[in-house]
Amino acid sequence: MAKSPFLESVRTEIRTKQYSYRTEQSYLYWIRQFILFNDKKHPEVMGNHEIERFLNHLAVNRGVSPCSSPHLNRTPW
């Protein structure tokens, strides 16, 4: 599978900030989920509306509580 230039730039940023490997994996997982949920649109063309839809989806359909995913608001992208 081809590597996404966007995800590679996020990975580079995370490593530059010396975050742990587990944090890197978690951030990349949630970023991929966000992109897939929004029909593979690039994050640069999305805004608050898409973020709110995704977070509502997680809370309502996947049972993810807001306190279990606070890092979603701190992602480096």
Using CA atoms, how far apart are residues 77 and 54, in angstroms rounded to an integer?
16
The pLDDT assigned to 65 comes to 73
Q: Is a pLDDT exceeding 60 seen at residue 37?
A: yes
The pLDDT assigned to 76 comes to 52
Given a contact cutoff of 8 angstroms between Cβ atoms, the answer to whether 28 and 10 are in contact is yes
The pLDDT assigned to 62 comes to 83
Averaged pLDDT for residues 41-60: 92
In sequence order, what are the residues at sequence separation of 6 or more whose Cβ sits closer than 8 angstroms to the Cβ of residue 21?
none
